[in-house]
């Protein structure tokens, strides 16, 4: 159980400000992650809109810890869960798409895959790869997510963020210092929406690219398994999966977690894994690769929460 910051769960709920959104106590976060593991949120807050989020941030007690999660696709929540308040932007106000020519502004809570129909209907291409990245729009910036030889930084125009004082800012690429699978993203920022630069394209061409990318993933990645995608970043000039394979880690298991036979940079929950199983397996891979190559792999999956 949690080491209480402010008494027990009912006491935490009691000191939080009145909001228009929802407070949910002791929510199992496993159902919000692609790994399907992890302990509970002490309190889960689903704000109704940006004003509701601002009210919460301005009026909550300073000692209450706040954690923001997105689509949970690149996330490993430890078995002890997350103390304090976990915020998830999933209400309709955070899931809108607006087009200004070939510029597309997308709410932080929208699933990346849900962009497909609107891009086709509006004839805006160049953003198909985003639809192939698991998760939600808000999580793209922190890791400069990408695939199929394109990164978010290649199409990023601007974003609106809210800081921990409830202030909203418009920020550009210069504020993130994007690099491979990383950015200078402050922990106190919450993404509200992101604007991308697309290109004019025919709907049938967009459909073709989306189908090609989906077929590639089906052929090369364990997409129907409980996995968070690529576990480790590619070291400069190298590929993580190849280093893992050469270190003899393909098929390696710890408890209910295993390394995928299809793509060994993917860790899989076979159905009964704990977060500890997955994290231990990842650290074992790091150790074996370092022994074999002297290279230390860096986690791409974000780990958070407390151990049980």
Closest by CA position to 182, among listed 44, 302, 11 = 302
Strands 82-88, 66-69: parallel, antiparallel or unpaired by DSSP? parallel
d(CA 273, CA 228): 13
- Separation between Cα atoms, residue 197 and residue 203, nearest integer Å: 17
230 is catalytic: yes
Name the residue among 256, 282, 284 with its Cα closest to residue 269. 256
User: Which of 90, 153, 201, 230 does the annotation list as catalytic?
Assistant: 230
- Is residue 300 among the annotated active site residues? yes
Phi, psi for residue 119 in degrees, rounded to 5: -65, -40
Phi, psi of 126 (to 5 degrees): 80, -5
Phi, psi of 298 (to 5 degrees): -110, 130
Marked catalytic residue, from 42, 91, 276, 300 = 300
Q: What's phi and psi for 268, nearest 5 deg?
A: -125, 135
SS3 category, 170: strand
- The neighbouring-strand residues paired with 44 are 24, 86
**172: which DSSP letter?**
-
Q: How far is Cα 144 from Cα 128, in angstroms, rounded to an integer?
A: 15
Strand order in the sheet with 266-269: 226-230, 266-269, 257-259, 253-254
Answer yes or no: 183 catalytic: no
Catalytic residue among 42, 90, 181, 258: 181
Radius of gyration of the chain from its Cα atoms, rounded to whole angstroms: 20
Task: Give the helix/strand (H/E) hosting 196.
Answer: strand 190-197
Catalytically active residues, by annotation: 181, 230, 300
């Amino acid at each position: 159980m949690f080491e209480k910051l402010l008494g027990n769960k009912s006491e935490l709920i009691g000191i939080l400000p009145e909001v228009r959104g929802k407070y949910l106590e002791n929510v199992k976060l496993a159902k919000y992650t692609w790994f399907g593991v992890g302990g509970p949120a002490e309190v889960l807050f689903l704000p109704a809109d940006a004003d509701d989020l601002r009210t919460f941030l301005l009026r909550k007690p300073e000692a209450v810890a706040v954690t923001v999660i997105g689509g949970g696709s690149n996330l490993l929540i430890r078995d002890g869960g997350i103390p304090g308040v976990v915020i998830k932007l999933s209400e309709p106000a955070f899931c809108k798409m607006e087009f200004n020519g070939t510029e597309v502004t997308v709410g932080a809570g929208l699933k990346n895959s849900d962009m497909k129909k609107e891009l086709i209907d509006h004839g805006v291409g160049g953003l198909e790869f985003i639809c192939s990245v698991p998760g939600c729009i808000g999580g793209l910036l922190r890791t400069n997510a990408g695939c199929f030889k394109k990164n978010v930084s290649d199409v990023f125009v601007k974003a609106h963020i809210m800081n921990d004082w409830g202030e909203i800012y418009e920020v550009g690429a210069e504020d993130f210092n994007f690099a491979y699978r990383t950015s200078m993203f402050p922990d106190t920022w919450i993404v509200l929406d992101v604007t991308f630069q697309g290109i004019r394209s025919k709907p049938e061409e967009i459909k073709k690219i989306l189908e090609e990318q989906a077929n590639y993933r089906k052929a090369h990645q364990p997409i129907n398994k409980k996995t968070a995608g690529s576990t480790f970043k590619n070291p400069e000039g190298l590929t993580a999966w190849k280093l893992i394979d050469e270190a003899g880690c393909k098929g390696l298991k710890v408890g209910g977690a295993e390394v995928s036979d299809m793509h060994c940079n993917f860790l899989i929950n076979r159905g009964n894994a704990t977060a500890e199983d997955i994290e231990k397996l990842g650290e074992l891979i790091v150790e074996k690769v370092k022994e074999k190559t002297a290279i230390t792999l860096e986690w791409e999956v974000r780990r958070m929460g407390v151990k049980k």
